[in-house]
């Protein structure tokens, strides 16, 4: 268990969320009639911690395991090994009743708010649900609470009577956030919360999330494939590749001087809205390998463009090691 | 390959085709596309004028629902019912009016000199045909030759777009490929007949950023090699900045700004363009707070009167609510659909005839930028 988590400003605090050596493997049947069995190694030995009122950004491309990690943190997916401690308690060891109580304190915001909003429930009813289940308010008090929550996320009170399909993507995401906030969580897991939104609306929702954090003292695990969005919201960032964290540290340092060749390539690939900037681009050959059959040694070695790449990279898996205050990278050469 | 177009191109006018010398490769004039919907008529594209010269890369940028994809479909006459390209719209490509062509003739243009790359590599390929036969089909449709020759060229195209084991892959199916590989196949199909113009509609939006970089480098290389023009349709300002020389910005069915890429990014003139640029989180600069554009894009069945951006515009005044601004010329190759541009231009004229230039601007940008009007 991590004793303390180092924030981006260097201060050490007790973690609110503490994920230690978490591994999640799925068994999958493939082939005709499911005759063939294979194991998807979605998350392998991931450790991360988030402090109170802190945002940790988690970036990675499709299939890297970031969504599985998010779901395992909420225990929507069962772990294979490792621990997920919230406020000191291992979520995966809790009895159902205790888990339910704990879930009030951790909520999730999905990329597609349809995933969290029942199409047959009005927005108001969806928000009330959490209040009722956790016995936080009922009757007129619940109505009032719903109105307050709608107001807090920038929706008008009459939005309570509308159904999800009657709203635009941005408004639906606001409603999804209101639903999550209803039960007064301490940690919000945001899984690609703005990826489906247009730029102008995306900015509104990002601003809202940052305002809510300041006002309510929320902690965020903010997951996105968009490095610029993560840069904007998260003072501390972890980079995931093929089920593992390959680099983690203060955003400023990580974006300015990425140590891992994957982070370097990822950052160089992002187009910057400045036609005169001439940034060197590292183009990676091929696709990421399948998590069913991850390569031995460093998971990134088949695509790695580091000039010093050698036999060690394909044989020995590098561990995360400290490269700068609070910044760790898993590379033999970095 | 024996195609005469293979001759090393100067990159200047490979697509001059049947057009008059100096005429643009593609010329869209007053394009209007409407959709009859339950809520009334949606004016999805409402009077778009756009030009692409041979060999150049032009961006068409805007958010969802602005009409950019419908514009692409209309050029190829692929707008489906209940969509309708309004009478009076003109699309000239290599000197021919595509909207007036017989169905058979437009089919001869599509995929041949004019190709489209779609956003969704998962659905654009036929799941029950081999990849090689899908490329060969395009080649055989447009260029006569034997089945074996078409197959050989299909394999060659797969190799050109960087697909490993091209021979084996040609006999495989789309579902066996990753998203990035499927997008390569789509590029192979689009480029199989060496088009003069490729319309790429969000060609990398469904792909991861490292794969996107790879695909765009590939497209760039092929474009240089073949000398084709590209109309890049995207919502991604970064891609536009990086890949295009000229840009059209679209909002609510209309063009709102047109400029050289560098000019646009150094001093956007339309408040919508300014808003978009301020709203994007950036890797290269840390912003305290994003300047969100308030509200949202209105539905195409109910565009606001006056300037369509006025309900979301921080600078709107009475005239904006009452009267739709035309695309106003404002300098070399620059246009903006904004009354402020006109006002600034006249201020500028006043300033020239009287005292030192007025530093006041309406959007807080430096006065020196607006003086370039």
In a domain, A253, yes or no: yes
**Residue A329: per-residue pLDDT:** 97
Q: pLDDT band at B295, cuts 50/70/90?
A: confident
Please give the residue that has the higher pLDDT: either A58 or B296: A58
Give this complex's ipTM: 0.86
In a domain, A29, yes or no: yes
Q: pLDDT band at B175, cuts 50/70/90?
A: confident
In a domain, A323, yes or no: yes
Residue A42's closest CA among A329, A325, A292?
A: A292
**Residue A112: per-residue pLDDT:** 79
In a domain, A11, yes or no: yes
Contact state of B286 with A265 under an 8 Å Cβ cutoff: no
The Cα of B277 is separated from the nearest Cα of chain A by a number of Å equal to 8
B216, B235, B263, B296, best to mutate vs chain A, most A CBs in 10 Å: B296
Residue B231 vs residues B71, B100, B193, B194, B300: alpha-carbon distances, Å: 11, 22, 17, 15, 24
In a domain, A244, yes or no: yes
Tokens of B45: 């594209």
Average pLDDT, chain B: 85
Write out pLDDT tens, residues B208-238.
Answer: 888 888 888 888 888 999 899 999 999 999 9
Give the 3-state secondary structure of residue A272: coil
Contact state of B238 with A270 under an 8 Å Cβ cutoff: yes
Q: Does pLDDT of B4 surpass 60? A: no
H/E run at residue B74: helix B68-75
What's the CATH code of the domain at A236?
3.40.50.300
B61, B204, B283, B286, best to mutate vs chain A, most A CBs in 10 Å: B283
Query: What is the crossing angle of helices A199-216 and A169-181, to 10°?
Result: 20
Tell me which chain B residues have a C-beta less than 8 angstroms from the C-beta of A287.
Answer: 178, 180-181, 211
- pTM as predicted: 0.86
Tell me which chain B residues have a C-beta less than 8 angstroms from the C-beta of A171.
Answer: 296
**Residue ranges in chain A modelled with pLDDT below 50:** none
**Residue A334: per-residue pLDDT:** 65
**Residue B348: per-residue pLDDT:** 64
Q: pLDDT band at B14, cuts 50/70/90?
A: very low
How many folded domains does chain A comprise? 1
For chain A, the straight-line distance linking the first and the last C-alpha, in angstroms and rounded, comes to 27
Range of the domain at A284: 5-97+218-329
Tell me which chain B residues have a C-beta less than 8 angstroms from the C-beta of A232.
Answer: 281, 286-287, 290
In a domain, A197, yes or no: no
For chain B, the straight-line distance linking the first and the last C-alpha, in angstroms and rounded, comes to 49
In a domain, A302, yes or no: yes
**Residue B121: per-residue pLDDT:** 61
Query: Is-contact B212 B191, C-beta < 8 A?
Result: no
Strand ordering across the sheet containing B335-336: B114-117, B197-201, B229-234, B57-61, B246-251, B254-260, B335-336, B328-329
Cα separation of A282 and A304, whole Å? 10
Cα separation of B358 and B116, whole Å? 47
Tokens of B325: 């601004």
Write out pLDDT tens, residues B124-138.
Answer: 888 899 999 999 998
Give the 3-state secondary structure of residue A187: strand
**Cβ of A97 under 8 Å from any chain B Cβ?**
no
**Residue B163: per-residue pLDDT:** 86
In a domain, A196, yes or no: no
Q: pLDDT band at B355, cuts 50/70/90?
A: very low
């Amino acid at each position: 268990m991590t004793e303390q988590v180092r924030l981006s400003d260097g201060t050490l605090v007790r973690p609110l969320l503490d994920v230690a050596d978490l591994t999640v493997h799925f068994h999958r049947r493939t082939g005709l009639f499911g005759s063939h069995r294979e194991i998807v190694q979605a998350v392998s030995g991931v450790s991360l911690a988030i402090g109170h009122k802190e945002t940790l950004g988690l970036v990675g491309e499709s299939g890297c395991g970031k969504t599985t990690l998010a779901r395992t943190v909420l225990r929507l997916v069962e772990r294979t090994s490792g621990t997920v401690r919230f406020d000191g308690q291992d979520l995966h060891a809790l009895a159902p009743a205790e888990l339910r109580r704990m879930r009030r304190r951790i909520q999730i915001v999905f990329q597609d708010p349809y995933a969290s909003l029942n199409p047959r429930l009005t927005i108001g009813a969806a928000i009330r649900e959490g209040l009722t289940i956790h016995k936080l308010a009922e009757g007129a008090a619940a109505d009032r609470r719903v109105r307050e929550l709608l107001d807090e996320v920038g929706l008008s009170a009459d939005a309570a009577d509308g159904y999800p399909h009657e709203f635009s993507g941005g408004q639906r995401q606001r409603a999804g956030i209101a639903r999550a906030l209803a039960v007064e969580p301490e940690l919000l897991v945001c899984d690609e919360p703005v990826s489906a939104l247009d730029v102008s609306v995306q900015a509104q929702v990002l601003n809202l999330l940052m305002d809510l954090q300041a006002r309510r003292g929320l902690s965020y695990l903010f997951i996105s494939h968009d490095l610029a969005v993560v840069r904007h919201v998260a003072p501390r960032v972890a980079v995931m590749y093929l089920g593992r964290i390959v680099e983690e540290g203060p955003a400023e340092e990580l974006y300015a001087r990425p140590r891992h060749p994957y982070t370097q390539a990822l950052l160089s690939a992002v187009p910057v809205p400045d036609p005169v900037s001439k940034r060197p681009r590292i183009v990676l050959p091929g696709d990421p390998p399948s998590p069913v059959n991850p390569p031995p040694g460093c998971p990134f070695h088949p695509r790695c463009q580091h000039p010093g790449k050698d036999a060690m990279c394909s044989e020995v898996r590098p561990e995360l090691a400290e490269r700068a205050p609070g910044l760790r990278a898993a590379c033999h050469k970095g | 390959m024996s195609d005469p177009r293979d001759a090393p191109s100067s990159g200047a006018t490979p697509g001059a085709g049947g057009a008059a010398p100096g005429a643009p490769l593609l010329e869209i004039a007053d394009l209007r596309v409407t959709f009859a919907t339950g809520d009334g008529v949606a004016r999805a594209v409402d009077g778009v004028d756009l030009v692409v010269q041979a060999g150049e890369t032009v961006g068409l940028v805007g958010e969802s629902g602005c009409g950019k994809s419908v514009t692409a479909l209309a050029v190829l006459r692929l707008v489906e019912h209940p969509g309708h390209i309004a009478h009076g719209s003109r699309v000239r490509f290599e000197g021919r009016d595509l909207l007036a062509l017989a169905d058979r003739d437009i089919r001869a243009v599509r995929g041949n000199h004019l190709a489209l790359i779609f956003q969704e590599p998962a659905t654009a390929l036929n799941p029950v045909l081999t990849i090689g036969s899908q490329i060969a089909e395009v080649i055989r449709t447009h260029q006569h030759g034997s089945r074996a020759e078409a197959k050989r060229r299909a394999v060659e195209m797969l190799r050109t777009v960087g697909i490993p084991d091209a021979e084996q892959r040609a006999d495989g199916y789309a579902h066996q490929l990753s998203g990035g590989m499927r997008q390569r196949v789509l590029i192979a199909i689009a480029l199989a007949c060496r088009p003069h113009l490729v319309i790429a509609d969000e060609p990398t939006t469904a792909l991861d950023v490292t794969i996107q970089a790879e695909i765009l480098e590939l497209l760039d290389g092929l474009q240089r090699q073949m000398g084709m023009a590209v109309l890049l349709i995207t919502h991604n300002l970064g891609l536009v900045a990086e890949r295009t020389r000229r840009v059209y910005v679209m909002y609510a069915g209309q063009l709102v700004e047109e400029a050289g890429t560098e000019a646009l990014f150094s001093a956007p003139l339309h408040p919508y363009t300014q808003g978009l640029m301020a709203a994007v989180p950036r890797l290269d600069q840390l912003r305290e707070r994003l300047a969100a554009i308030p509200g949202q894009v209105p539905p195409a069945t109910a565009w606001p009167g006056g300037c369509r951006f006025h309900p979301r515009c921080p600078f709107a005044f009475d005239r904006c609510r009452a009267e739709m601004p035309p695309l106003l010329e404002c300098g070399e190759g620059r246009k903006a659909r904004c009354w402020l541009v006109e006002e600034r231009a006249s201020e500028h004229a006043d300033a020239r005839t009287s005292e030192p230039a007025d530093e006041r601007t309406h959007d807080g940008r430096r006065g020196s930028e607006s003086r370039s009007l």
